[in-house]
Structure 1
Amino acid sequence: MTQPLRWLQDEIADRMLQKLDIVKLDVKDILVVPDFAGKHLDVLAKSYPKARIFSITEKGISGFQMWRAKALSNWRSLFASNACSLEDYSSSGRFNVPDNSVDLVFSDLLLHDLPDPKHFLQECWRVLREGGLITFSYLGPDTGKELRALDLSELKLKNLLSPWDMHDMGDALLGERFSDPVMDMEYLTLDYEKPALLLADMSALKLMDSTPPKAIGKEVLPQKITLEVVYGHAWALGKRLAKAKDNVAYIDLNQIGRKTRSDSA
């Protein structure tokens, strides 16, 4: 996301947190990716008052901005190391977070910007504790469908990096060993009075070239844009079990306990 769409990121985070109200989860540590100085920090602090919040910060967010936001919402988070930025994750392919160290991964409108969402899911599996939860939202392939219906080569339209629908993501969660995935989707409509505002938002959503054309008539562009917002969550269960491959389950010998005389007596 970029600053022009901060309101959208806040709105979707709020809807995600409402969905978490019905989920029972003992949370000591939360990883927010991407994190930004938004109102979600206050809600997370109220919902999980004893939790620390670790951040994978969004591009353009300074360490001081996050420190100040956390100081105002949850002082415990000040003692959590600022994990890394999205740029760090993009270059290294890893969160700067230890294995089995968080109970909740909260990801708001990120997955559609990643070339390989499966790798992101693998990292979430790595850092989640047994019984932990991943919850996320992202933009689905129907986002901006009104623009794609136009025959305007000068718009230089682009597809989302990861055009996965909710069924694709559900399959990917199961493939990465997550349990009981729950997926749902809704359409949001953005209405515009000025073409310049529509073009600015589409550029911010990375649906077109970052430099939109200067002169496109109002009568040519649609006055509304559809966003397909996909939500999902899944559990990290059975982390001590080996991953199956080719229908054969491989189990580490260290996971097999030896029965002693006293056990068999």
Structure 2
Amino acid sequence: MTQSIRWLQDEIAGRMLQKLDIVKLEAKDVLLIPDFPGAHAPFLTKRFPGIRFHCAPESELSSFELYKLRLTRFWNSKMKSTAVVSLNDYMKTGRINLPSNSVDLVVSVLLIQNLADPKQFLKECWRVLKEGGLLTLSYLGPDTAKELKSESLAQQLQIENLPSPWDMHDMGDALLGERFSDPVMDMEFLKLNYDSDALLLSDAKALNLLALNEKNQAQLPQLPSKLTLEVVYGHAWALGKHLAKPQDHVAYVDPNQIGRKTSSDSA
């Protein structure tokens, strides 16, 4: 994701966080992955007074932008120490550099469609969330940019398939498969209208939908005047983290977790 599409990130983040209005959650630590300059952090500081931010800044940020973002998050956290997570390291290792059971809320905006293994991301979110924590996410679904996938255009454009073209049912199933509870999924189509091919190409490249360079860009056919984005939203809870450990589809329960029946229980 590049800065030319910053307005879209901000818009989607705002829509995601509005959905939290009906969610009962007390959050003290939040992980923003990815994190970027926008209105999402001020919204969260208002919703959860005293919150502390742990951020995974976008890799495209310059050194100055990164310094400014870290300083802003330190200020947002009321000058409490915060962790900075390397998004590049996660892409290489598949591990979020935070301790297990360390955050109450994970907010992920428009990231999952670019991950080769979304299930590993869900595993890591489960690991770093505390008992009773919440994961809220958004990503681009498989019908994104369908205008560019027509037979006539597809033969001439270098269309980049999303690494993870999951629809909301795929994500709901995956959340349950990774032990999250009560997943709630939602989807909407956003229509982006363009006055010029250059603007459409800029956004398509920023969204990793096209692979273009100056040479092949000069040979492009007539392009559509709009792009459709399928935006999938979801949230799910990390509940019962210590009740059972699944292995090979069998749940193994620690004996200490089994309650002893007393006479009063049977009465």
TM-score normalised to structure 1 length: 0.90
> Is 1:30 the equivalent of 2:30?
yes
1:35-184 mapped onto 2 (5 Å cutoff): 35-61=35-61, 62=63, 63-71=66-74, 74-76=76-78, 78-82=80-84, 84-152=85-153, 153-184=155-186
Contact 1:32–1:53 under 8 Å retained in 2: yes
Contact 2:74–2:82 under 8 Å retained in 1: no
Q: What residue number does 2:265 align with?
A: none
TM-score normalised to structure 2 length: 0.90
Residues 47 and 180 of structure 1, relative CA distance in 2, 3 Å threshold:
same
Contact 2:113–2:140 under 8 Å retained in 1: yes
Deviation at 1:155, TM superposition (A): 1.4
Deviation string, structure 1 residues 9-30 (Cα, Å, up to 9, x no partner) = 0000000110111111011100
Deviation at 1:216, TM superposition (A): 5.0
Structure 1: where are the runs of 5+ without partners?
260-265
Deviation at 1:254, TM superposition (A): 5.3
Question: What is the identity percentage for the equivalent residue pairs of Structure 1 and Structure 2?
Answer: 60
Deviation at 1:211, TM superposition (A): 2.1
Computed over aligned residues only, the root mean square deviation of the Cα atoms, in angstroms, reads 2.1
Match of 1:249 among 235, 248, 251: 251
SS at match of 1:60: coil
> Is 1:239 the equivalent of 2:248?
no
SS at match of 2:244: coil
Deviation at 1:247, TM superposition (A): 5.0
Residues 89 and 122 of structure 1, relative CA distance in 2, 3 Å threshold:
same
Q: What residue number does 2:218 align with?
A: 215
Q: Aligned pairs, how many? A: 257
Q: Which moved more, 1:35-44 or 1:16-25?
A: 35-44
Q: Please give the alpha-carbon distance, in whole angstroms, between the structure 1 residues aligned to 2:150 and 2:13.
A: 29
Deviation at 1:45, TM superposition (A): 1.0
Contact 2:32–2:53 under 8 Å retained in 1: yes
Contact 1:100–1:127 under 8 Å retained in 2: yes
Q: Please give the alpha-carbon distance, in whole angstroms, between the structure 2 residues aligned to 1:77 and 1:160.
A: 39
Contact 1:53–1:77 under 8 Å retained in 2: no
Q: Which runs of 4+ in 1 moved over 6 A?
A: none
Residues 178 and 4 of structure 1, relative CA distance in 2, 3 Å threshold:
same
Q: Which moved more, 1:169-178 or 1:248-257?
A: 248-257
Contact 1:54–1:77 under 8 Å retained in 2: no
Deviation at 1:253, TM superposition (A): 4.5
Contact 2:53–2:83 under 8 Å retained in 1: no
Q: Please give the alpha-carbon distance, in whole angstroms, between the structure 2 residues aligned to 1:124 and 1:26.
A: 18
Residues 75 and 91 of structure 1, relative CA distance in 2, 3 Å threshold:
same
Q: Please give the alpha-carbon distance, in whole angstroms, between the structure 2 residues aligned to 1:170 and 1:214.
A: 38
Contact 2:175–2:236 under 8 Å retained in 1: yes
Q: Which moved more, 1:140-149 or 1:239-248?
A: 239-248
Q: What residue number does 2:264 align with?
A: none
Structure 2: where are the runs of 5+ without partners?
262-267
